[in-house]
Amino acid sequence: MNTLPWLLELIIALFILIGALVALLGSIGLARLPDFYMRLHGPTKASTLGVGCTLIGSLLYFSFLTEGISVQEAIITLFLFVTAPASAHMMAKAALHRRVRCVDKTLNVPWKDQ
Amino acid sequence: MSRLSFWVPRPLFSLFLAVLWLFMVNSFSVAQVILGIGLGLLIPFSTHRFWPEKSSLRHPLPLLRYFLVLLWDIICSNLIVARRIIGRTEHLSPGFITYPVSLEDEFAITLLASTISLTPGTVTTHYDTQARTLLIHVLHIDNEQALIDQIRTRYEQPLQEIFQ
């Protein structure tokens, strides 16, 4: 088994730590934000960058440890970026259809002007 | 419709699926190549009826630039949203905005809606096909018009150039 140079180890550790931190922030947002629509903002952004950073760390690690570049992580990132907006859109649409309650200060609530 | 375009409705997409399959299994043996090509032919053939009209991608290079801009914006938007999440949530003024779309191509509209969902504090919630507007939920509205202008110049106009 090859050993990693310390600089690379540091970079990989940094990526994984940043990823974990961003994912944690997203979860805090999920817990703290007051209504459903605002909570939607957490998973679409924080999780894409959080998981993205973790995957870059994983990509670097496995690319150097084994022969050849590991591209599976890149594909996972691609899938994530394609599916995150779609799932957020479906949840938002369902909430809109059911007129899920939102905080009172929300501007231009679509079902209130009609 | 010719015989070939009946069996292989989207040749580029078939190729993309085959290559994607090979990268996913991470092996380039003959068996996997055959399986990849098989999937690449089968999936477009069995699903192409559900899809909107073929979009015309005229300029691939600006599309690459668009994705780089998008990647940068995703990183920035994460920082902005993170700061708002940690800060006092009472100061946030969330709201919905209606964004009039001028794009024609359905795939371009999908890209625009996805882009909006991935960038600063905005999530696309609804696309009104009659009025041709996107309903967007914004985490914090400072200036509604500025936000609309920003989306128009930063994302919609490049997309318009790409899919003209």
Residue-wise pLDDT tens for chain B (164 aa)? 567 777 777 777 788 888 888 888 877 788 888 888 888 888 888 877 776 666 566 667 777 888 888 888 888 877 777 777 777 777 777 888 888 888 777 778 888 888 888 776 788 888 877 888 888 888 877 777 888 888 888 888 888 877 76
Structural domain includes residue A109: no
Contact flag A37-B117 (C-beta cutoff 8 Å): no
**B29: buried, middle or exposed (CB in 10 Å: 19+, 13-18, 0-12)?**
exposed
Structural domain includes residue A108: no
Structural domain includes residue A111: no
Structural domain includes residue A107: no
Structural domain includes residue A110: no
Where in the sequence is the domain holding A93, given as residue range(s)? 6-98
Q: What is the pLDDT of residue A17?
A: 92
Chain A positions contacting chain B at CB under 8 Å are 22, 25-26, 28-29, 32-35, 37-38, 40-42, 44-46, 48-49, 70-72, 75, 81-82, 84-86, 88-89, 92-93, 95-96, 102-103, 105-110
Structural domain includes residue A49: yes
Identity of the residue in A42, A75, A92 whose CB atom sits nearest the CB atom of B137: A92
Identity of the residue in A22, A85, A96 whose CB atom sits nearest the CB atom of B113: A85
Structure tokens at B158: 């490049």
CA separation (Å) from B16 to A13, A60, A79?
33, 24, 14
Q: What is the pLDDT of residue A14?
A: 92
Q: What is the pLDDT of residue B164?
A: 67
Q: Which of A44, A58, A69 to mutate to test the interface with B (most CBs of B within 10 A)?
A: A44
Structural domain includes residue A32: yes
Mean pLDDT computed over every residue of chain A? 79
Name the packing angle between helices B60-86 and A6-32 (round to 10°). 60
Work out how many domains chain A is built from and give that number: 1
Q: What is the pLDDT of residue B18?
A: 86
Chain B positions contacting chain A at CB under 8 Å are 20, 23-24, 26, 74-75, 77-78, 81-82, 85-86, 89, 92-98, 113-115, 117-118, 121, 123-126, 135, 137, 139, 141
pTM score: 0.74
Contact flag B125-A108 (C-beta cutoff 8 Å): no
pLDDT in tens, A2-52: 677 888 889 999 999 988 888 888 888 788 777 887 787 777 766 778 888
Structural domain includes residue A103: no
Q: What is the pLDDT of residue A114?
A: 47
Contact flag B74-A32 (C-beta cutoff 8 Å): no
Torsions phi, psi of B4, nearest 5?
Answer: -65, -45
